Structure 1
Amino acid sequence: MVASSLTPDLVLSGGILSAQIVPALASGSLVGLVLGLIGGGGSILAVPLLIYLVGVRNPHVAIGTSAFAVAINALAGLVTHAREHTVKWRCAGFFAPAGMIGAALGAHLGKAMDGQRLLLLFAALMVLVGIAMIRGRHDQGIPGAACNRDNVWKVGLFGLCTGGLSGFFGIGGGFLIVPALMAATHMPVLNAVGTSLVAVAAFGVTTAASYALSGLVDWSLALWFILGGVAGCVIGTRLARAMGQGSGATLKLVFAALIFIVAGYIVFKTV
């Protein structure tokens, strides 16, 4: 636990402040809601929410804590996708290990960088993510596509690169992993989402372990964030089913706009 990450208030036995529980639950719920609605991208909001809404002062603690929380939420989502047989386990077997190497290297570099500079780079990544969501909102992939001897090197290379970014910024990286899997194999988006959860969990655990060894994970805060995320994901999934598949592109546009706003706020507060 890092004391510098907490604001002055009454401290509970677990370490989290009483004033942080409700914001942590709300933040986790928002991230889970987005994940349930559009199948990815919600984790990009985790770090800004922990810093600006929950009140975590140390950006590195926010990154380490969010990495663990996102990994657990990804495992919960993976169970559902595994039951529906939407996970391409062979692809995950190549993508995730390569990404874990990248995540370990990325986390090492992220911890060595100044926290404020890291936030500015994070804002730049958010803008790129928003643009990518707008451009790829209609891409659905090719049914039946999977990993083979011709594209396995692409799968490993994309895994290494996305894992590096995931570890560096402490994000799940689903918004990067899904298009990376589709670009490497042309698999359908549903399979890419299901398969990406294996990598998101693996990257998150690797990043969180690296930050935990440096004492940069607030475990109590992560627990409340996870509880909120599970609830939000359930609600988001039900809303997505009620709204139908055709609303996916519109939801991604709305979420991209939200990303641009949050990125602008990060730059404003940091500069």
Structure 2
Amino acid sequence: MDHLAVDALTGASGSLVGLVLGLVGGGGSILAVPLLVYVVGIKSAHVAIGTSAIAVAVSALANLLMHARAGNVKWRCALVFTVAGALGAVGGSMIAKMIDGQKLLVLFGVLMLVVGIMMLRRGAGDGDPAVTLCRENARRLLPRLTAGGFGVGSLSGFFGIGGGFLIVPGLMLSTGMPIGYAIGSSLVSVTGFGATTASSYAVSGLIDWRVAALFVSGGILGGLAGTTLGRRLARQKRTLGFIFAGVVIIVGVYVVARALPPLLAA
């Protein structure tokens, strides 16, 4: 495959990730690694993970600005979740670099299936749109946000993903906020987790910067379309929840189907 074709596939893959990030907050980052491995053709799973982390962090930041403008971000809840998660992401990324890349992809796919099924069973729910972290409820919400953020951040660093597909249900579970606010707020954590994980992989020389730049360019364009579509679906919370879960399950099945046979044949 020539360089122009690879560049086009990279940009298109980035657009898809940006579209999903803008639409449902999570899922975009979890698509990045499979797209870089199976569509763009990056041979090393670890390089794909490092490259996806930097690309997703920048794309998520662009989408966050759009959601913040629309008033969909619960900043206090999001920041506590992100700080706790960033600490977990450092440890998770250090452990992941010691594990065989093919095994990492299989574990990645299995986690996608588990989370997708949990989301389908739970449903979107309405939640409390007025929820916020304040002095009156800090004793109840702070431990939940801290524990949830650390756990999600550890998985984010381990699998090299922004973690939005875990952050959205994590924020909903920790605070009771509706999915619309969880999507916007999750992008704070996706940006933070992605940047933390990318820094760890950059130090190890495991990022393809050319691919990352093309991926980000496509991601920003896709994010504009995803945020616009998300606003139109804002009142259809259950539809958003099913889209979110469906994307995660479908890609999880594909990743396991591609990564498991080589392990079994070894």
Q: TM-score scaled by structure 2?
A: 0.89
Tell me which residue corresponds to 1:191. Answer: 181
> Contact (CA 8 Å) 1:145, 1:185: kept in 2 or not?
yes
> Contact (CA 8 Å) 2:81, 2:148: kept in 1 or not?
yes
Q: Which of 193, 199, 215 is residue 205 of structure 2 equivalent to?
A: 215
Tell me which residue corresponds to 1:266. Answer: 258
Residues 253, 208 of structure 1: CA spacing in aligned structure 2 closer, same or farther, 3 A cutoff?
Answer: closer
> Contact (CA 8 Å) 1:106, 1:164: kept in 2 or not?
yes
Cα distance in 2 between the residues matched to 1:47 and 1:234: 21
Q: What is the CA distance between 1:269 and its match in structure 2?
A: 5.2
Q: What is the CA distance between 1:242 and its match in structure 2?
A: 4.9
> Contact (CA 8 Å) 2:85, 2:149: kept in 1 or not?
yes
Q: What is the CA distance between 1:244 and its match in structure 2?
A: 6.4
> Contact (CA 8 Å) 1:103, 1:167: kept in 2 or not?
yes
> Contact (CA 8 Å) 2:110, 2:252: kept in 1 or not?
no
Q: Say if 2:55 is the partner of 1:65.
A: no
Q: Say if 2:23 is the partner of 1:33.
A: no
Alignment length (residue pairs): 257
Cα distance in 1 between the residues matched to 2:148 and 2:234: 31
Tell me which residue corresponds to 1:228. Answer: 218
Q: Say if 2:131 is the partner of 1:138.
A: no
> Contact (CA 8 Å) 1:120, 1:270: kept in 2 or not?
no
CA RMSD across the alignment: 2.0
Cα distance in 2 between the residues matched to 1:63 and 1:92: 24
Cα distance in 2 between the residues matched to 1:73 and 1:183: 25
Same amino acid, percent of matched pairs: 49
- Unpaired segments of 5 or more residues in structure 2? none
Q: What is the CA distance between 1:144 and its match in structure 2?
A: 1.5
1:1-271 equivalence runs, <5 A: 17-147=3-133, 148-242=138-232, 245-246=235-236, 247-252=239-244, 254-268=246-260, 270-271=262-263
> Contact (CA 8 Å) 2:112, 2:249: kept in 1 or not?
no
Q: Counterpart amino acid of 1:234?
A: L
Residues 227, 90 of structure 1: CA spacing in aligned structure 2 closer, same or farther, 3 A cutoff?
Answer: same
Residues 49-102 of structure 1 deviation map (CA, whole Å, 9 limit, x = unaligned):
100110100000000000011110111111122222322222123211111110
Residues 113, 99 of structure 1: CA spacing in aligned structure 2 closer, same or farther, 3 A cutoff?
Answer: same
Q: What is the CA distance between 1:18 and its match in structure 2?
A: 3.9
Q: Counterpart amino acid of 1:102?
A: G
Cα distance in 2 between the residues matched to 1:249 and 1:195: 16
Q: What is the CA distance between 1:174 and its match in structure 2?
A: 0.8
Q: What is the CA distance between 1:234 and its match in structure 2?
A: 1.8
Cα distance in 2 between the residues matched to 1:116 and 1:137: 32
Cα distance in 2 between the residues matched to 1:143 and 1:243: 16
Cα distance in 2 between the residues matched to 1:211 and 1:255: 26
> Contact (CA 8 Å) 1:33, 1:235: kept in 2 or not?
yes
What SS does the corresponding residue of 2:126 show, helix, strand or coil?
coil
Cα distance in 1 between the residues matched to 2:92 and 2:233: 38
Cα distance in 1 between the residues matched to 2:195 and 2:252: 28
- Unpaired segments of 5 or more residues in structure 1? 1-8, 11-16
> Contact (CA 8 Å) 1:127, 1:263: kept in 2 or not?
no
Cα distance in 2 between the residues matched to 1:79 and 1:200: 13
